[in-house]
């Protein structure tokens, strides 16, 4: 219930838990900023990485396109040789005169083999004579893999379509794709620009696409001629360029298309050739393009994963090293506030600050309990003293006047011994009543009070009792508590010696080397085991006072008063055994004047 009340009070008081305050500061002051810093670094590095990858790919693409341009230009130049070199034209003129096809065929095939059988970018070369198109004139480039199957495919599948395209060419050059094969078509014309033959070069795909295969991250490539698939390097490919790609390539030569997280990258390059548009489309392996990004992402995840245990460890550290010790201090402080004085905290801290704090709390709690006990005992003692004072104040003037009358009667009758005893008794009575209510007086006054008692005892026992004193005269003005010597002297007379035979007493008062004022009362009695047990019982805090005699209570009163005033290291200490004299020692810690 108290905890619930405290939580409600804390809720509405605006005070916050230190633990959660530290957690919030840890999260918002360290974890989240570090998280955002790592995220920003990864973001910019990723963007820069993509930019660098794009630049590398586009640069490689441009170089590959330049190489293809050179290859196509080389093929175009080779096709023009059939027109610029008059071999075919002269053979055709001779044929028109003599009509010998065999001789014409040998010359044509020899020219084709000479020009194209070892060309780097040609696979086959075919010449279609428009006057007799059924005749086959061709050359194979075995070094590029040209075979008779290519010739058979040409005459069976491609010839008619190529002738249709050639009718629209005039003297130009164009490219035609037929079922994945690429043909360069060119008309041979007479001096009057009338076509008499069609030269067809089947281009070697591997040679043309070799430059693209060397691109960084290359996966596959396609060639589109006027939007239609001309050549492909993969099993499945779109037969037509997507419309949005075509539209974008109308305004730019290069196009870099980056797919999604798990998609490949596509690069397009437009080339205007032979009155048409040739587009090279290269697909880049997604594993290559995303490799660096994946590394950054893995690094980001690893950093976050490692940050979480660090945050947990920091929270655990703050909880164990700060929150828990403070909670223990608060719990102990609440216990003290509720009255459990002297509450102690187990101090096992390994950091100096909280160790000192707990040690100080334990010391403070102990001191508080001691002070409370001291004040409590002082209040009890004060109450008892007031009761005793009230009891002793029953007509004190009457007692003093009565003693004074008895004293004068003794003097008038010449009984000076009785008169002296009455004066000593009057002195003791005056000190006991303490009309000025002073707690301290000088050593000289304390000795005078003890002397009054000793005078009465000496008069009572005569030569059977003797007392000597060794007192440092410079200590006579030192202030000490009232009535501390006489109860000890009385205890020695009553219990410490056999005064009926011979009693000897010595009082010593001096300053010890450690600065304590020491008062020793030594008697010639012997301390038995029973006496020792009784003294220990009297001086213990658990004694039942109602069962003890008045004289015995006197020494306890002296011990308790000295401990309350000067601390536990002061008080009454009684030593001796059945072989030695008994010494009662009073220790006081006071300021003793030094000699001038």
Greatest Cα pair distance, the chain, in angstroms, is 202
SS3 category, 437: coil
Q: Write out pLDDT tens, residues 552-566.
A: 667 888 888 888 888
Q: What share of the chain is helix, strand, coil (3-state, %, to 5)?
A: 55, 20, 25
Tokens standing for residue 163: 């002738």
| Burial of 127 (C-beta count, 10 Å sphere; 0-12/13-18/19+) | buried
Instruction: Report the percent of the chain where pLDDT is more than 70.
Output: 77
Q: Are 188 and 195 contacting, i.e. CB atoms less than 8 angstroms apart?
A: yes
- Mean pLDDT, rounded, of the chain: 79
**pLDDT tops 80 at residue 576:** no
Judge if 189 and 311 occupy the same domain: no
Which residues have a Cβ under 8 Å from the Cβ of 185 and sit 6 or more positions away? 162, 165, 166, 169, 173, 174, 175, 176, 198, 199, 200
Integer Cα distance of 364 and 342 in angstroms: 8
Q: 201: domain range?
A: 85-207
The verdict on residue 320 lying in a domain is yes
Q: Write out pLDDT tens, residues 180-202.
A: 889 999 999 988 889 999 999 99
**pLDDT tops 80 at residue 204:** yes
Q: Of 178, 207, 236, which residue sits at a domain end?
A: 207
**pLDDT tops 70 at residue 399:** no
The verdict on residue 389 lying in a domain is no
SS3 category, 240: strand
Q: Of 175, 207, 239, which residue sits at a domain end?
A: 207
What does the pLDDT average to over 436-449?
82
Judge if 460 and 533 occupy the same domain: yes
What integer pLDDT is reported at residue 259 of this predicted model? 65
Confidence band for 384, pLDDT divided at 50, 70 and 90: low
Positive or negative torsion for Cα 431, 436, 440, 443: negative
What integer pLDDT is reported at residue 22 of this predicted model? 67
SS3 category, 473: helix
Closest by Cα among 282, 265, 285 to 54: 265
Confidence band for 137, pLDDT divided at 50, 70 and 90: very high
Judge if 25 and 96 occupy the same domain: no
What integer pLDDT is reported at residue 390 of this predicted model? 47
Compare 395 and 225 and report the one with higher pLDDT: 225
**pLDDT tops 80 at residue 119:** yes
Number of domains forming the structure of the chain: 3
- Taking each helix axis from N to C terminus, what angle separates 550-566 and 352-392, rounded to the nearest 10 degrees? 140
Q: Of 335, 352, 380, which residue sits at a domain end?
A: 335
Residue carrying the six token digits 């401990």: 563
Pairing state of beta strands 440-442 and 479-481?
A: antiparallel
Judge if 459 and 557 occupy the same domain: yes
**pLDDT tops 50 at residue 493:** yes
Q: Are 212 and 235 contacting, i.e. CB atoms less than 8 angstroms apart?
A: no
Could you count the other beta carbons within 10 Å of the beta carbon of residue 425?
Answer: 18
**Model pTM?**
0.49
The verdict on residue 61 lying in a domain is no
What integer pLDDT is reported at residue 4 of this predicted model? 47
The verdict on residue 262 lying in a domain is no
**pLDDT tops 60 at residue 1:** no
């Amino acid at each position: 219930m108290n905890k619930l009340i405290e939580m409600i009070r804390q809720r509405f008081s605006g005070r916050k838990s230190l633990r959660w305050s530290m957690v919030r500061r840890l999260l918002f002051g360290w974890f989240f900023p570090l998280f955002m810093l790592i995220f920003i670094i990864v973001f910019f590095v990723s963007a820069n990485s993509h930019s660098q990858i794009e630049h590398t790919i586009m640069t490689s693409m441009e170089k590959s396109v330049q190489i293809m341009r050179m290859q196509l230009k080389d093929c175009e130049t080779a096709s023009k040789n059939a027109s610029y070199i008059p071999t075919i034209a002269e053979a055709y003129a001779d044929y028109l005169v003599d009509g010998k096809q065999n001789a014409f065929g040998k010359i044509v095939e020899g020219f084709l083999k000479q020009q194209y059988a070892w060309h780097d970018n040609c696979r086959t070369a075919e010449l279609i004579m428009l006057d007799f198109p059924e005749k086959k004139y061709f050359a194979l480039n075995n070094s590029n893999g040209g075979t008779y199957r290519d010739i058979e495919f040409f005459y069976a599948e491609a010839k008619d379509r190529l002738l249709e395209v050639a009718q629209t060419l005039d003297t130009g050059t164009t490219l035609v794709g037929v079922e994945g094969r690429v043909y360069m078509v060119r008309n041979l014309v007479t001096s009057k620009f009338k076509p008499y033959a069609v030269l067809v070069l089947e281009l070697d795909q591997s040679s043309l696409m070799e430059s693209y295969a060397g691109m960084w991250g290359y996966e596959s490539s396609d060639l589109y001629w006027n939007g239609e698939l001309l050549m492909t390097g993969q099993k499945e490919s779109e037969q037509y360029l997507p419309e949005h790609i075509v539209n974008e390539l109308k305004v730019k030569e290069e196009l870099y298309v980056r797919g999604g997280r798990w998609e490949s990258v596509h690069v397009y390059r437009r080339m205007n050739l032979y009155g048409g548009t040739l587009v090279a489309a290269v697909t880049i392996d997604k594993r290559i393009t995303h490799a660096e990004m994946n590394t950054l992402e893995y690094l980001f995840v690893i950093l976050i994963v490692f940050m979480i245990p660090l945050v947990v460890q920091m929270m655990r550290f703050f909880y164990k090293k700060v929150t828990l010790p403070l909670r223990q201090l608060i719990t102990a402080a609440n216990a003290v506030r509720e009255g459990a004085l002297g509450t102690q905290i187990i101090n096992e801290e390994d950091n100096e600050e909280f160790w000192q704090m707990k040690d100080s709390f334990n010391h403070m709690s102990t001191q508080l309990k001691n002070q409370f006990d001291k004040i409590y005992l002082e209040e009890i003692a004060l109450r008892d003293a007031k009761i005793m004072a009230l009891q002793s104040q029953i007509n004190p003037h009457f007692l003093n006047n009565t003693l004074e009358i008895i004293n004068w009667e003794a003097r008038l009758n010449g009984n000076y011994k009785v008169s002296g005893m009455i004066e000593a008794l009057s002195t003791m009575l005056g000190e006991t009543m303490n009309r000025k209510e002073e707690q301290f007086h000088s050593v000289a006054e304390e000795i005078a009070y003890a002397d009054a008692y000793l005078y009465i005892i000496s008069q009572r026992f005569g030569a059977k009792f003797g007392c000597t004193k060794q007192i440092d005269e410079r200590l006579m003005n030192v202030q000490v508590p009232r009535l501390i010597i006489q109860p000890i002297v009385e205890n020695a007379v009553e219990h410490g010696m056999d005064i009926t035979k011979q009693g000897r007493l010595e009082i010593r008062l001096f300053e010890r080397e450690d600065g304590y004022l020491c008062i020793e009362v030594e008697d010639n009695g012997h301390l038995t085991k029973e006496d020792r047990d009784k003294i220990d019982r009297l001086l213990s805090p658990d004694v039942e006072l109602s069962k003890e005699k008045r004289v015995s209570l006197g020494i306890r009163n002296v011990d308790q008063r000295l401990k309350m005033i000067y601390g536990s290291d002061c008080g009454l200490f009684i030593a001796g055994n059945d072989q030695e004299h008994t010494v009662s020692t009073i220790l006081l810690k006071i300021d003793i004047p030094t000699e001038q």
